[in-house]
Amino acid sequence: MIEIDPHDRIDLTGPWAGFGFQGGHMFTPEGHQLEPGDMTWWSLTCNIAREWRLMMAGARTEVASRSVTPGKASAATKSSVIYLAEVLRIRRERRLGVDDRGSDAEAPNVVYMSRGPRPRQRG
């Protein structure tokens, strides 16, 4: 039977190459040290990363599907950079049916919700 000393460095192999354990802590290929309590966040981190990949893949598909005028190259189709704020703004406008009226357009009539009348304050 192999006896492992927890203070010796143990390097993982295969798809985990670069990760390892030493002195009761895990370390990453970048050299970051993970405490045992840090690993409780892995599920959340992995779910966020998966959603990010799906959102970026959808944004790339959206950018690639836009028609480009012949003779004019769009900067968006040449670059693989996705600007998240721009993608979210476009999706929000499509969902809400907002049109781009320009900066000189009148502000829409907005009704703000309030909690109701405030009680009288003595003073």
Would you say residue 120 lies in a domain?
A: no
What is the pTM assigned to this prediction? 0.36
Between CA 9 and CA 28 the distance in angstroms is 13
Count of domains for the chain: 1
Would you say residue 12 lies in a domain?
A: no
Token digits for 47?
């779910």
| Residue bearing tokens 């802590």 | 25
Would you say residue 57 lies in a domain?
A: yes
* pLDDT tens digit sequence for 72-101: 545 545 566 677 778 788 888 888 876 555
Between CA 38 and CA 25 the distance in angstroms is 10
Kindly report the three-state secondary structure assignment for every residue of 35-92.
CHHHHHHHHHHHHHHHHHHHHHHHHHHHHHHCCCCCCCCCHHHHCCCCCHHHHHHHHH
* pLDDT tens digit sequence for 12-68: 999 999 999 888 888 999 989 988 888 888 888 888 899 888 888 887 777 777 645
Q: Which residue range forms the structural domain that includes residue 68?
A: 41-96
* pLDDT tens digit sequence for 106-122: 666 666 666 767 777 77
Would you say residue 72 lies in a domain?
A: yes
